[in-house]
Amino acid sequence: MIMKYANLLDRFITYVKVNTRSDENSTTTPSTQSQVDFATNVLIPEMKRVGLQNVYYLPNGYAIGTLPANDPSFTRKIGFISHMDTADFNAENVNPQIVENYDGGVIALGESGFTLDPADFAHLNNYKGQTLITTDGTTLLGADDKSGIAEIMTAIEYLTAHPEIKHGEIRVGFGPDEEIGVGADQFDAEDFDVDFAYTVDGGPLGELQYETFSAAGAEITFKGRNVHPGTAKGQMINALQLAIDFHNKLPEGARPELTEGYEGFYHLMNIDGTVEEASASYIIRDFETESFEKRKDLMKSIADQMNAELGSERILLTLKDQYYNMKQVIEKDMTPITLAKEVMEDLGITPIIEPIRGGTDGSKISFMGIPTPNIFAGGENMHGRFEYVSLQTMERAVDTIIGIVTKK
- Per the CB < 8 A criterion, the answer to whether 220 and 243 are in contact is yes
Distance CA 357, CA 32 (A): 27
Q: Is 193 annotated as a binding residue?
A: no
Distance CA 102, CA 302 (A): 53
CA geometry: angle at 209 spanning 46 and 356, to 5°? 105
Q: Is 10 annotated as a binding residue?
A: no
If we measure between CA atoms, which residue out of 267, 282, 264 comes closest to residue 222? 282
- Per the CB < 8 A criterion, the answer to whether 284 and 293 are in contact is no
Distance CA 145, CA 151 (A): 10
What dihedral angle (degrees, nearest 10) is formed by the CA atoms of 11, 16, 18, 21? 140
- Per the CB < 8 A criterion, the answer to whether 172 and 67 are in contact is yes
User: Residue 85 catalytic?
Assistant: yes
| Residue in 23, 85, 136, 157 annotated catalytic | 85
SS3 287: coil
What dihedral angle (degrees, nearest 10) is formed by the CA atoms of 183, 185, 191, 192? 60
If we measure between CA atoms, which residue out of 153, 136, 122 comes closest to residue 48? 153
Is omega for the bond preceding 286 within 30 degrees of 0, making it cis?
Answer: no
232 to 238, 272, 313: CA distances (angstroms): 10, 22, 20
Q: Is 276 annotated as a binding residue?
A: no
| Residue in 177, 178, 286, 387 annotated catalytic | 178
What dihedral angle (degrees, nearest 10) is formed by the CA atoms of 155, 157, 158, 163? 120
SS3 92: coil
- Summarize the annotated binding site for Zn(2+) as residue ranges: 83, 144, 179, 201, 383
Q: Where is the binding site, in residues?
A: 83, 144, 179, 201, 383
Instruction: List the catalytic residues.
Output: 85, 178
